[in-house]
Structure 1
Amino acid sequence: MSLIRPFAGLRPVPERANDVVAPPYDVLNSEEARERAADRPLSFLHISKAEIDLPPGTDPYDPAVYAKAAENLNKLVAEGVLRREDKPVYYVYRLTMGDHVQTGLVAVASVADYDKNRIRKHEFTRPAKEDDRVRQIEALNAQTGPVLLAYRSQDDIDALIDSATNNPPEYDLVADDGIGHTFWVLDDPATIDRLTDGFEAMEAIYIADGHHRSAAASRVAASKNGPPDAMSRYFLSVIFPHKQMKILDYNRVVKDLNGLSEMQLLEKIATAYDVNQSAEPVSPSRPGEFGMYLGGQWYRLNIHPERIPEDPVARLDVSLLADNLLEPVLDISDPRTDPRIDFVGGIRGLGELEKRVDSGEMAVAFSMFATTMEDLMAVADANEVMPPKSTWFEPKLADGLVSHVLD
């Protein structure tokens, strides 16, 4: 067994790729997916969000949804829209968002290495979401949503992956959100072996996004109890060099000031932060710096250095804000469950924070410095978990470009 291996992917024929490609299943709710798939009968949303083909209001976890997903997948195969590769290969996948470009390897990764933490985690999972992914995989006998992984950048591995991009791509398309998706087949046996051996020599690789999908794959593999080299003991992954990955800020908005006036809030914050008004919206430029939007005014907050601990989790900016402001001042002890706090991905911009406060929906907003990949890997290496909503990865992987059949 090896950390990663090539596989015979199930993927669209090139002339249908643009019709099939879809956003990842977990960034749209059912109604949004229904709208996006309207007049697009080949959209992968009919598989990843199959409730859109059932009566409105259908519970996304209803057994009928998984049965419909399998029916829709089988139909695309029968119609020749999706075809299985005739031999195991790797694929190279490039994402382009404006000036940002990242190029990674599509492979299947070892469940055994996930189970023994060589494929390292940094988040807890929720049982309901795990159960959903298990039922989806079992119904389809395939993994259709890739796990986003990262490896510590190595020049030789990076170059091997990038070498595939010298050839004409299988797919080169721009999704309706403006993200470019370019996809190559890497079928040279010597290059495949070098990549497999190169990853096998790595101490660890890291889950960036997809903890529920990888946990579900582990459960399915255990239930099938196949031989060690069974394809069910590997899960669909796209693996990028960590230096190329882009994490955006994941900002916070809070509904009330916990009974404090704006002046009292500022006074309490000043015990842990240097507080200065700003004439412009504050996009933090370094760790330990935060923006705060309160009463129509932006403030720049810099935490006092002595309050930054050495622990890899406690020193994260999301932890510094929680431990020195959200909990002691605003009485938000569990951001995972407290209804008074919400989270705004940085892709929406600082204007979204102003909008939600100015509307009266929220009382105060905090802009964050984005968590770094180095932070993420340090937490995973310490076998710790990050606080909720610590990372927002962009651009997102598409669904439908390739799936992993389990037999």
Structure 2
Amino acid sequence: MASIIPLRGVRYNPRIVPDLAQVVTPPYDVIDESAQNRYYERSPYNVIRLEYGKTGPADDAGNNRYTRAGETFSNWLDSQVLVQDRQQCLYLYEQQFTLRGRTYGRRGFFCGVRVEPYETGVILPHEETLPKHKKDRLELMRLCRANFSPIFGLYPEKEMVSSLIIAKVMQNDPDISFTDELGQAHRMWIVRDHTVINPIISIMEQKHIFIADGHHRYETALAYSQEIGGPGLHNYALMVLVNLYDPGLLVLPTHRLVQNPKGIDPEALVSELGDVFEVTPATVGPHGFQVFLDDLEVRGKGSFGLYAGDGRLYWLSLKPGGDLDRLMPADKSPAWRRLDVTVLHSLILEKYLDIGSSERTDEGLIRYTREESGALEKVDQGEFAFAFFMNPTGVDELVAVAEGGERMPQKSTYFYPKLSTGLVINKL
């Protein structure tokens, strides 16, 4: 199945960049203009200049964020700000983080993964993509001939043999260790020993890979591979692979801020939703909005939060015994029809608010957010009409949908934390 290779990774030269916390970033798609400016100011060598450079009013075909990224990448290689490892390596990677008072460690490894069309069943997607984002990433790849940001992949290995191999190496001191701006610890072990590398390659030959995060980057890498043609490193994409059964694998919800193109009265919307959902008014008590979200989690699958402004907060729970299959698209599998995110998009947004699949590509109509209390403020300030709050999609649900060859709406999953960009670069 999956074909992986060790890489001669390109990494920051510790003599010039001793503190990696100053130069790494999260993936480009979670970086807004404010964060972009912050990373630019943090270090003249911050990877933001490669991965997500600034645009300017004088940009043209010969001078733009992509050409500047290509020139900067070349200059940093020439001046040895970035250096390429002499040997092929696997880069074992651990992120340690705290969430709700509990500490986790997520383990995986950087490698090259041969890109395959989805139809082969080797690489399995689970989310829809947008053409404009792929166009942006493809232009960057053409001008730089590199992968700066790893795709996040999951592989199913219940036997945990690969995890035991990784854990044994991680008993040694890491080659790289730093703490980022969020207080998350990053540790990396550079493995050149083929008695470690080869067993992991053999395990992966029996596995397929689920894309957890980075669908646009994967489809871009595939398009680039097909564009270049022939053998070569352009047929491999930079990935971090994590065992599906890793205890540090967490999925968090992504909430939705939506407009009201239909112009429906909020009270009328709540009334209409009562045909399918049990609607329960709620309030934000003295202990804050987190209590509401905790209660939403307890209510579990088939439950949502709705905020309609002016303090109007509701729990929505699918009525027991309701004929959900009749209400959802008939051409989809039961696994797809029972996802919270597809119930929200196909039933609530499409049926009641006239926001269908084509309208969902309009970023003015829907915004995806991890900010909970901030979402309430944006509704109260009139930026959006409604906020819908979600429980996270389960990893088992992702697997069922992906193995069935179906896709969820955009931003159905949020694997926390994000991988760092800038630790390992794959030069094509």
Give yes or no for TM over 0.5. yes
Matching residue within 305, 308, 323 for 1:291: 305
- Map of 2:188 onto structure 1: 183
Partner SS for 2:68:
helix
Query: 2: CA distance between counterparts of 1:316 and 1:384?
Result: 12
- Map of 1:328 onto structure 2: 351
Query: 1: CA distance between counterparts of 2:365 and 2:236?
Result: 37
Does structure 2 conserve the Cα–Cα contact (< 8 Å) formed by 1:96 and 1:395?
Answer: no
In the TM superposition, structure 1's runs of 4+ consecutive aligned residues that sit over 4 Å from their partners are: 58-63
CA deviations on 1:303-338 (whole Å, 9 max, x unpaired) are 124344462222111111233322222222235235
Gap change, CA 1:129 and 1:152, over 3 Å in 2 = same
Is residue 245 from structure 1 mapped to residue 245 from structure 2 by the alignment?
A: no
Is residue 300 from structure 1 mapped to residue 300 from structure 2 by the alignment?
A: no
- Map of 2:204 onto structure 1: 199
Q: Give the drift of 1:146.
A: 0.8
- Map of 2:130 onto structure 1: 126
Query: 1: CA distance between counterparts of 2:390 and 2:153?
Result: 23
Partner SS for 1:327:
helix
Query: 2: CA distance between counterparts of 1:167 and 1:387?
Result: 42
- Map of 1:316 onto structure 2: 339
Partner SS for 2:189:
strand
RMSD: 2.4
CA deviations on 1:171-213 (whole Å, 9 max, x unpaired) are 21122233332211122211111100011112x1111111121
Query: 1: CA distance between counterparts of 2:167 and 2:52?
Result: 33
Deviates more, 1:21-30 or 1:148-157: 21-30
Does structure 1 conserve the Cα–Cα contact (< 8 Å) formed by 2:2 and 2:123?
Answer: no
Number of residue pairs aligned between Structure 1 and Structure 2: 398
Does structure 2 conserve the Cα–Cα contact (< 8 Å) formed by 1:133 and 1:213?
Answer: yes
Matching residue within 252, 268, 271 for 2:272: 268
Deviates more, 1:322-331 or 1:79-88: 322-331
- Map of 1:21 onto structure 2: 24
Matching residue within 402, 409, 417 for 1:380: 402
Deviates more, 1:4-13 or 1:118-127: 118-127
- Map of 1:166 onto structure 2: 171
Kindly provide the amino acid, as one letter, of the partner of residue 395 in structure 2: M
Does structure 2 conserve the Cα–Cα contact (< 8 Å) formed by 1:20 and 1:400?
Answer: yes
Query: 1: CA distance between counterparts of 2:64 and 2:261?
Result: 45
Q: Give the drift of 1:158.
A: 1.7
Is residue 49 from structure 1 mapped to residue 48 from structure 2 by the alignment?
A: no
Q: Give the drift of 1:339.
A: 6.0
Gap runs ≥5 in structure 1: none
Matching residue within 333, 338, 345 for 2:369: 345
Kindly provide the amino acid, as one letter, of the partner of residue 290 in structure 1: F
CA deviations on 1:131-174 (whole Å, 9 max, x unpaired) are 32222222222211111111124321222222222121122112
- Map of 1:221 onto structure 2: 225
Alignment of structure 1 residues 363-374 onto 2, 5 Å: 363-374=385-396
Gap change, CA 1:388 and 1:74, over 3 Å in 2 = same
Q: TM-score, normalised by structure 1?
A: 0.90
- Map of 2:86 onto structure 1: 86
Gap change, CA 1:366 and 1:2, over 3 Å in 2 = closer
Partner SS for 1:207:
strand
Does structure 2 conserve the Cα–Cα contact (< 8 Å) formed by 1:120 and 1:206?
Answer: yes
Gap change, CA 1:212 and 1:287, over 3 Å in 2 = same
Does structure 2 conserve the Cα–Cα contact (< 8 Å) formed by 1:253 and 1:362?
Answer: yes
Kindly provide the amino acid, as one letter, of the partner of residue 403 in structure 1: I
Q: Give the drift of 1:226.
A: 2.5
Gap change, CA 1:220 and 1:257, over 3 Å in 2 = closer
Kindly provide the amino acid, as one letter, of the partner of residue 12 in structure 1: Y
Q: Give the drift of 1:49.
A: 2.3
Kindly provide the amino acid, as one letter, of the partner of residue 208 in structure 1: A
Is residue 236 from structure 1 mapped to residue 251 from structure 2 by the alignment?
A: no
- Map of 2:330 onto structure 1: none
Query: 1: CA distance between counterparts of 2:80 and 2:317?
Result: 58
Gap change, CA 1:298 and 1:128, over 3 Å in 2 = closer
Matched-pair identity in %: 28
Does structure 1 conserve the Cα–Cα contact (< 8 Å) formed by 2:128 and 2:409?
Answer: no
Gap change, CA 1:161 and 1:128, over 3 Å in 2 = same
Query: 2: CA distance between counterparts of 1:262 and 1:207?
Result: 37
Q: Give the drift of 1:235.
A: 0.7
Gap change, CA 1:201 and 1:48, over 3 Å in 2 = same
Does structure 2 conserve the Cα–Cα contact (< 8 Å) formed by 1:12 and 1:82?
Answer: yes
Gap runs ≥5 in structure 2: 326-332
Partner SS for 2:366:
strand
Does structure 1 conserve the Cα–Cα contact (< 8 Å) formed by 2:129 and 2:410?
Answer: no
Query: 2: CA distance between counterparts of 1:178 and 1:34?
Result: 20
Gap change, CA 1:181 and 1:315, over 3 Å in 2 = same
Gap change, CA 1:223 and 1:353, over 3 Å in 2 = closer
